[in-house]
Structure 1
């Protein structure tokens, strides 16, 4: 059925009969299937079919993002070829095979891993520079497919405040101190997430190292399921905060991104606005991590990402957030709460090893 639905969509897009055959399952998860298929009678030898079974909102968000990038003639991602809303299916350009950034980080060549990260940072900055101020275009495409319940950045802001109690639970469980004014600082974060001003751009939304591919034509981003118009620096969290990387490489990645983004974003050229923007997203994401991981981690550590435990992730976020907040701190009360929490967790988890990618060992 998937191949038949895909063939119908391609036939309609290309204006002639097309057959799909030889399916190769690339990924199957609870929410989507990704399949490569051979094309007979079409304009290319193979295509990628992506079928969202259980989460049409994410599927249509990705469709919208890819269509917008195509209209802007950006090659940030695989090109969107065709789709069918009724069957929750769209078809993409097949970029072929190639290493991901995760593959490079897990390899034994630090120069390849370094150049790969810098290429992804530049590509991300270029995408943000070209998508500043396109909220209306994004909304029009999304509404034409199917109206979205709410904008992604509003969902992010609401989540931060709706689950404030989860951070408080961690504070109580560790014996840390919640500084007066923490709630007000969370409101500051939520407001700026909801309205990022000059930093509003189309973001990928899930910048994991595995969501990249290096092709003969350069780096590309994959899996735009969590894309949306939100704070541009949300994507920068990959190197600023989330992924364990050498400090020197973080600085280089940030500079590569900032130079690319500054081509169209005046605010990225101003140190004060830049420092505040990175502080906002870093603080919000650190709180999010304590909202996602329950205090059960105090009793038992679990894997958060391959080779990276929940405890290591929490300590990493706290340490990096503290570093990012130092130049300009828009949330002083929250930072005191996080500092108290970090102190308590470091006492408990003093034996937790820091994660190092094989490429940098």
Structure 2
């Protein structure tokens, strides 16, 4: 801790004290620290494994782009760490969704979708800038734009299925290739990468995004799928009232059509989102199947939260309706029948703010 404070203080040229742990991630430690003048900053110190260094590069480059997030105040690649503006203790979108005020939750969801859509639109012409910043701050590891995570997850899915006794249909491999590669370089926009509810601060000045460890350019459908699923890769997942997911999705879409007018056409928009839902489901399946032998909450400390089994079953139920990918949809139904049917867990409830 002393070493982190000392290194961050040298970056800023001021003495730092009174660190408060803000949680971080498996790749980083995040501290709120006091400055000698009585203010505060946030220090994020990364590990040195390849994935940690990729996260450092993404965070530094993403914040340096200056389109969203706290102001980047300093960087020390030798540690590595970043020092950034302290955005304070405003509630997150997760806080209001898990609270008891439906109006605050609805307003928060709308601000989240609108803010991400405006960020996407503002970023369309800045991809080369992010690539340049990534190269400047790179740590000899591929950036998220260069990391073939989707191809890797698709390749890992058959073995994940075999691990729970599910034999994939023969046509699945070809469908997975289509899901991963179709439209992969179309309708690109910047995203912090992890746009989950706890990474979105609802401040008096509007939505502020935090956590740029996976910042990259990707098709806008990947973010739009967070509206529909909802929150594709997150722990704060419950069901939304009827029609609300569609309303939030349209809020996001109304912003991105400013950059990509053709996305007003449902024949482009709907297939793009459904591919994204399939891809996120592949990712979550490969990530979570090895962990569900014993069920547990999706978050170590927050409550209420769903369990891993509730979350995964919910993902499979939605993906089982993707009939344009018949082998994939059948695989989801096999998982529901042969795996999830034996789980003694209740259905995923609604968000507490909307009555559970």
The interval holding the TM-score normalised by the smaller chain is: 0.7 to 0.9
From 43, 50, 61, give the equivalent of 2:44.
50
Aligned residue in 2 for 1:264: 259
TM-score by length of 2: 0.86
**1:319, distance to aligned residue in structure 2 (A):** 2.2
**1:122, distance to aligned residue in structure 2 (A):** 0.7
1:110 paired to 2:75: no
**1:260, distance to aligned residue in structure 2 (A):** 1.1
1:335 paired to 2:340: no
Find the aligned partners of 2:291 and 2:54 in 1 and give their Cα distance. 31
From 322, 339, 342, give the equivalent of 1:348.
342
From 314, 317, 335, give the equivalent of 2:315.
317
Q: Deviations over 1:306-325 (max 9, x none)?
A: 521122112211222345x3
Find the aligned partners of 2:279 and 2:24 in 1 and give their Cα distance. 31
Q: Alignment partner of 1:294: what SS?
A: helix
The range that moved more, 78-87 or 131-140, is 131-140
1:164 paired to 2:161: no
1:80 paired to 2:68: no
Aligned residue in 1 for 2:171: 181
From 306, 309, 313, give the equivalent of 1:308.
306
Aligned residue in 2 for 1:14: none
1:98·1:213 contact (CA, 8 Å) conserved in 2? yes
TM-score by length of 1: 0.85
**1:163, distance to aligned residue in structure 2 (A):** 0.6
Find the aligned partners of 2:243 and 2:175 in 1 and give their Cα distance. 30
Aligned residue in 1 for 2:186: 198
Aligned residue in 2 for 1:275: 270
1:203·1:231 contact (CA, 8 Å) conserved in 2? no
Aligned residue in 2 for 1:231: 219
Aligned residue in 2 for 1:15: none
Q: Deviations over 1:9-46 (max 9, x none)?
A: 224xxxxxx333333332355432222223346xx932
Find the aligned partners of 2:154 and 2:24 in 1 and give their Cα distance. 33
1:59 paired to 2:47: no
Q: Give the total of aligned pairs.
A: 338
1:286 paired to 2:278: no
Find the aligned partners of 2:258 and 2:250 in 1 and give their Cα distance. 13
Aligned residue in 2 for 1:10: 12
Q: Alignment partner of 1:210: what SS?
A: helix
Aligned residue in 1 for 2:201: 213
Instruction: Please state which structure has a larger fraction of its residues in helix.
Output: 1
Q: Deviations over 1:197-220 (max 9, x none)?
A: 332122222222111111110111
Find the aligned partners of 2:24 and 2:199 in 1 and give their Cα distance. 15
Would the alpha carbon gap of residues 29 and 128 (structure 1) be closer, same or farther in structure 2, given more than 3 Å must change?
A: closer
**1:82, distance to aligned residue in structure 2 (A):** 1.6
1:80·1:93 contact (CA, 8 Å) conserved in 2? yes
Find the aligned partners of 1:235 and 1:315 in 2 and give their Cα distance. 21
